[in-house]
Structure formats: C-alpha cells, structure tokens
C-alpha cells in the first residue's frame, strides 16, 4: 500500500462559513476553534460569519484559514485517517507544523497571527501585485520576469502554472508580455506581493519573533516550501525563508511521489492543491477534506 500525504491549503479560497460544518460535527475540530478563540477572540465568528472584505484582510485571513485547516485535519484523524507525511502551501505550512508536532497548536496559532500582521504591514509599505501565469513552462515565466524590474516567480505550482510577483505599476505590462508569449495571465485579488523580496521586512520581523518560540523535531516528515525537502537543520530559518522566497509546490509533490506517496488529501479550505495534483500526476489519487461529507467520500 502506498503512502498518504496531508497537504494544508493556503489563503485565497477563504469564504464566510468555512469550518462551520466540521465545528458542528467533530469534537476534535471544535477544540481547535475553541483554542483559536481563547487566543484571538472572534476567530470562529470571522470564519463562520465574516464578510468577504473582512476575510480578505491578511491579518484575518491567515489565522482563520489556519484554524479551518487544522480543525479539518484533527477531524480526519478522529475518523481514523493518519498521514505518512505533510506539507502546507504558504500559510498552510504553519498548520502543517502544528500537525507534525513541531509547534504546539497555541504557539502555531500565535505565530500565524504574527505572520499575518507582519505580511500585511509589509504589503502596505511595499505595494505589489501577483499574477497567475498559465500555459507557459516555469522557465518561460522566469524569462518574462527578467524583462521587468522587481518582478519574480514566486509560486511554482505545476508544469503549466507559475505565479509571479511584481509592482502594481508593472502588472498590466507583465500580463501583456505573458499573452504575447502565448500564455494566459490573471492578476490575483491579494493584498501584497507574497513570497518575494517585497516581504523582506516581514521575514526579518518573523525571525525576531521566533527567537523565543520553542520548536520540536517533527513527529512525521514535513516538507518545506523553501527547500521542497523534509524539514531538517534550522527549522526557524525555513519558516522565515518561505515568507520572502518562492513556494516550490510542484517539486514538493514530485518529491512526495518519489517517496512513495500515492494518495494526497488537501486539508482545509478549497480544492486548489487537489486540482494541481491532478494536473501534475496521472497516477496519484487526490481528495479534499473540508466537511464531514468530504470525509465520507474518501476511498483509501
């Protein structure tokens, strides 16, 4: 039998009502929401009732998506499903760190709250844009980025999807260059240019915050956004680095596949990672678990 990977979703798919079904159905999920509310009053309310505008603010998005992600994972374990390894996309990596035992739930939640505050501040002080590029190979996207100042590939998602970060002023011209090269460009509704040098001050602030945060060795392998390899060495350096460097998601899933993973379960909000897996691999089963009904559909 092959191995199972839990992969934790990042921000972008948040919506009002996320996590409510799990909260109502699972004591393990409810415990995660209760923990979040004890440290940041109103987190559950934002998840269940928050407006779209409220939930797209990075300071709210990150703690809310983290909570919904971790709650779904704990509900799935409560059902008897456990993974052989984990990873998380961007902020999802913090939920993966909690699940893998590198951080306590409380420390991970405090960390993701601070991360959201720092990234929100950096985005306000260093405005930027993010553009999803489709139908072009990563190397082609890199070539187009090189034509513009302060423009970087930041999410290597699949063989035909790469996200770039650029200045607000460059965004339209960058999109035009992508179309001229035969690709498709879509500017994303985000508040900053994440995983790029635009976030240098946020990364520095997060490193300072983590100096007093206790980290433990992972109980199961957790793959790093920064290296695309299982965590080893200086864990805090890896958490800092992913804020201002590209997410190498395609390589993470390829390395999981090479390690024997044949079933990937996206944990939490949305189905972006499930869809990326289906586009990248033809022989890996991919599911999403966000609700109790999703758990019922698993065929493991």
Q: Is 90 a catalytic residue?
A: yes
Active site residue 26: no
Q: Are 71 and 22 in contact (CB under 8 A)?
A: yes
Contact of 263 with 168, CB cutoff 8 Å: no
In angstroms, rounded to a whole number, what is the distance separating the alpha carbons of residues 135 and 263? 26
Residue 170 CB-half CA count within 13 A:
22
Going from the C-alpha of 199 to that of each of 6, 13, 24, the distances in angstroms are: 27, 21, 37
90, 158, 191, 224: the active-site residue:
90
Catalytic residue among 26, 191, 195, 224: 195
Rounded to whole angstroms, how far apart are CA atoms 103 and 231? 13
Closest CA to 253 of 223, 290, 285, 289: 223
**DSSP H helical ranges for 57-196:** 58-78, 92-99, 105-125, 138-145, 171-180
Cα 157 to Cα 102, 248, 299, distances in angstroms? 25, 7, 25
DSSP count for the chain of H helices, then E strands: 14, 8
Residue 282, judged by CB atoms within 10 A of its CB (0-12, 13-18, 19+), counts as exposed
**H or E stretch including 129?**
strand 129-134
Look at residue 217 and give its three-state secondary structure: coil
Q: Give me the phi and psi of 165, to 5 degrees please.
A: -110, 140
The catalytic residue positions are 90, 195
């Amino acid at each position: 039998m092959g191995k199972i990977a839990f992969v934790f979703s990042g921000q972008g798919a948040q919506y009002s009502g996320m996590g409510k079904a799990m909260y109502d159905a699972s004591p393990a999920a409810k415990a995660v929401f209760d923990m979040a509310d004890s440290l940041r009053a109103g987190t559950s309310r934002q998840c269940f009732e928050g407006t779209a505008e409220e939930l797209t603010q990075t300071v709210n998005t990150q703690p809310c998506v983290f909570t919904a992600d971790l709650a779904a994972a704990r509900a799935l374990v409560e059902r008897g499903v456990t993974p052989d390894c984990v990873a998380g996309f961007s902020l999802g990596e913090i939920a993966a760190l909690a699940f893998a035992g590198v951080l306590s739930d409380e420390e991970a939640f405090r960390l993701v709250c601070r991360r959201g505050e720092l990234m929100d501040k950096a985005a306000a002080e260093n405005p930027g844009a993010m553009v999803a590029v489709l139908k072009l190979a990563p190397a082609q996207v890199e070539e187009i980025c090189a034509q513009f100042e302060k423009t970087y590939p930041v999410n290597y998602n699949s063989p035909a999807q790469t996200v770039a970060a650029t200045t607000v002023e460059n965004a339209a011209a960058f999109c035009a260059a992508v179309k001229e090269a035969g690709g498709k460009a879509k500017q994303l509704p985000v508040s900053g240019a994440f995983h790029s040098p635009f976030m240098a001050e946020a990364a520095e602030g997060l490193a300072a915050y983590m100096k007093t945060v206790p980290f433990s060795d992972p109980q199961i392998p957790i793959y790093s956004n920064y290296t695309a390899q299982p965590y080893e060495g200086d864990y805090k350096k890896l958490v800092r680095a992913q804020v201002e460097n590209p997410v190498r998601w395609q390589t993470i899933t390829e390395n999981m596949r090479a390690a024997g993973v044949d079933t990937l379960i996206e944990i939490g909000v949305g189905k972006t990672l499930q869809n990326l897996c289906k586009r990248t691999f033809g022989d890996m089963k991919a599911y999403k678990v966000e609700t109790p009904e999703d758990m019922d559909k698993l065929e493991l």
